Amino acid sequence: MSEAKCPVAHGANSNMEKSSTDWWPKNLNLDILHQHDQKTKPFNGTYNYREEVKKLDFKALEADMHKLMKESQDWWPADWGTYAGLMVRLAWHSAGTYRTADGRGGGGTGDHRFAPLNSWPDNTNLDKARRLLWPIKKKYGNKISWADLMILAGNIGYESTGFKTFGFSYGREDIWHPNKDIYWGPETEALASDRHSDKEDASSLESPLAANHMALIYVNPEGFEGNPDPLKTAQHIRETFARMAMNDEETVALTAGGHTIGKTHGNGNADNLEAEPEGAAINEQGLGWMNNTSRGVGRDTVTSGIEGAWTTEPTKFDNGYFDMLFKYEWELKKSPAGAWQYEPINIKEEDKPVDVEDPSIRYNPIMTDADMAMIKDPIYLEISKKFHNDHEYFCDAFARAWFKLTHRDMGPRSRYIGHDLPNEDLIWQDPVPAGTPSFDVEQLKEKIRNSELTVQELVSTAWDSARTFRGSDLRGGANGARIRFSPQKNWKGNEPQRLSKVLDILEPLAKEAGASIADTIVLAGNVGLEKAIEAAGFNVPVPFNPGRGDASEDMTDSESFSQLEPIHDGFRNWQKDNYEVRGEELLLDRAHLLGLTAVEMTVLVGGMRALGANYGENKHGVFTDQVGALTTDFFVNLLDMSNKWKASNGHYEIIDRKTNNVKWTATSTDLVFGSNSILRSYAEVYAQDDNKEKFVIDFVKAWNKVMNADRFELNNN
């Protein structure tokens, strides 16, 4: 009997037919700006997690979490009767994807629940940790997010072993659809490593990546590409952790603190593990790496393939890691699952950790290639000795590094929620003093209006100050006015000479008015914009919310801020260099980090071109004879069929079809708004005769969004 033909249109709900991107891979894919809208969320528009979590009984939740740590469940038994090690690993691997280059990754969204992260081999069996947490999530419901719960699980895990953490903040809001905006690498298979231009040079790791291999969080614990070599591994550890904003001391502290408790799992045949969660059979109900061939739990669990604990007492946060590391010589061996690991030579029986199920059985402890790097690399060795000799100092260093790891992507301390918040301002939190909202705004506006500064200078300076904001890790933005300090004041993209001129005029005006410089820079941009709106024949006010503060140089980590330097800005039609990535793709990346929709990106580009706010006053894309007026001319002339378009020496010319004269020049970032079918549909809206005022109103709204992106007290985020 033949199978009946399926009556469903497969392309509507499966991958059985090619998408537009598959058919035309060079087409600009705008999906990055369309994800995480209200349609993906199971709540209505009135639900606000950051307000809900404030109603949570924090101490009751944490008491339940402590209880969970000790309640071993038959379906996934706890090692030595505690889930502390498993929960620490869950938090670590949730937070550990963060990278400084673009601020993406990290534990702030609960993305660990979704593919590809939930199915990476480095996250094997962390699906079990989330299932163990489900009864608590079920009980506390909408008042606790998965993102908060997974990080909290790590903190509680450590506390249950006797460690005092630095503190904890709630407030991470879940996403409800996998993040498709994060580039995890060029490889097409897990554990591959095609991301170094020179595999002997760790620093050649492709930006913005931080991990050495596809589907690993950091480095391969067996050694780079699975080849044990502690000194080479040390180079890659240093590069990887630096790209996570960690220095050498923090790196050693995190490595040692992470390996002080718990164990690795490789006591079995890895070939018996079935598919990862996303590829598992439907009856597994989202669990992956199941072993239905042999016993695969307890002492017989296979996770990383490395087998053993690092310390004699893996359920206590003690000095055991360094004691073990320095007390014995270590030799390279293979685990039962076939993974490279180091085991001690002539170890005393009493120094061996006991079996997770039977305390009468003892096994050798182990070290990974990464652990051996802590004593083979000269710099790491000195830090390790220091920690070994001063356990209290080590505990403090680890507590701070762990807090940084798990909170780095949460933004400033003002966003923290909860009862166990540290009081100390930490420089990596980019502290900004409170602003002074009580000054005469109209009087200051008038003085700025009467200054010699042009519309382009006012708008460009405000934009450059605000465009550093990254919604990925909530860093940057206009608040703090760090554009005054190194490294920002010297960034090529900020046109240092123009910036210096503008600041020399605005700073005295700010002082005289009693306003912060941060507020004054944004207000000046608004003044320039209002001039342009008037020149276009409209009267649309530009909202202004005072209250920004001025950071000092002492509050500014210049090395950390160097990661925020723009190497491109399609809104001002500028690139620092020529890149393999197209200009329109770079524009898309910047728009996403700014939290813009595709429509907002469109209206801002068209408006900035009309304002003449291009970098260095270049004329590409300035399709208007009314430069400085907020008109729709960019869209009107881009879509005008009396023109034709021609490539010319790295840019494009817009030519009058009748006279054959060049009217304007453009970049691909300009022309994409006519060539991409989705962007063209938006451009057509703004080119219509009846939407000139709508364009002004929409531009002002999008502008205000960028200027206030880092005003978390206004945005309720």
Spatial distance between the Cα atoms of 461 and 471, rounded to a whole number of angstroms = 20
Residue indicated by tokens 């970098």? 615
The three-state secondary structure class of 202 is helix
Q: Contact, 362 vs 371, CB < 8 A?
A: no
Q: Which residues contact 195 (CB under 8 A, 6 or more apart)?
A: 185, 186, 187, 205, 206, 209, 212, 214
Spatial distance between the Cα atoms of 163 and 154, rounded to a whole number of angstroms = 11
Q: Contact, 142 vs 65, CB < 8 A?
A: no
Spatial distance between the Cα atoms of 250 and 675, rounded to a whole number of angstroms = 48
Joined together, the tokens standing for residue 480 give: 């703090």
Is 66 a catalytic site residue?
Answer: no
Q: Contact, 325 vs 340, CB < 8 A?
A: no
Give how far Cα 507 sits from Cα of 438, 449, 468, 688, Å: 17, 15, 21, 41
3-state secondary structure 426-449: CHHHCCCCCCCCCCCHHHHHHHHH
Kindly tell me the sign of the dihedral angle through the C-alpha atoms of 616, 617, 620, 621: positive
Q: Which of 416, 428, 431 is nearest to 561 (CA)?
A: 428
Helix (H) or strand (E) holding 418: strand 417-420
Spatial distance between the Cα atoms of 314 and 328, rounded to a whole number of angstroms = 18
Spatial distance between the Cα atoms of 114 and 506, rounded to a whole number of angstroms = 48
Q: Which of 171, 166, 123 is nearest to 145 (CA)?
A: 171
Alpha helices for 408-516 (secondary structure H): 441-449, 455-466, 496-513
- The residue from 93, 112, 259, 592 that is catalytic is 93
Q: Which residues contact 46 (CB under 8 A, 6 or more apart)?
A: none
Question: Phi and psi (nearest 5°) for 644?
Answer: -130, 165
Between β-strands 651-656 and 643-648, what pairing exists: parallel, antiparallel or unpaired?
Answer: antiparallel
Question: Phi and psi (nearest 5°) for 666?
Answer: -155, 165
In DSSP notation, 171-191 reads -PPPPSS---S----S-SSTT
- 134-139 contacts, C-beta under 8 A, 24 or more apart: 135/68, 136/61, 136/64, 136/65, 136/68, 139/64
Question: Phi and psi (nearest 5°) for 170?
Answer: -85, 170
Spatial distance between the Cα atoms of 182 and 473, rounded to a whole number of angstroms = 13
Query: Could you give the residue numbers annotated as active site?
Result: 93
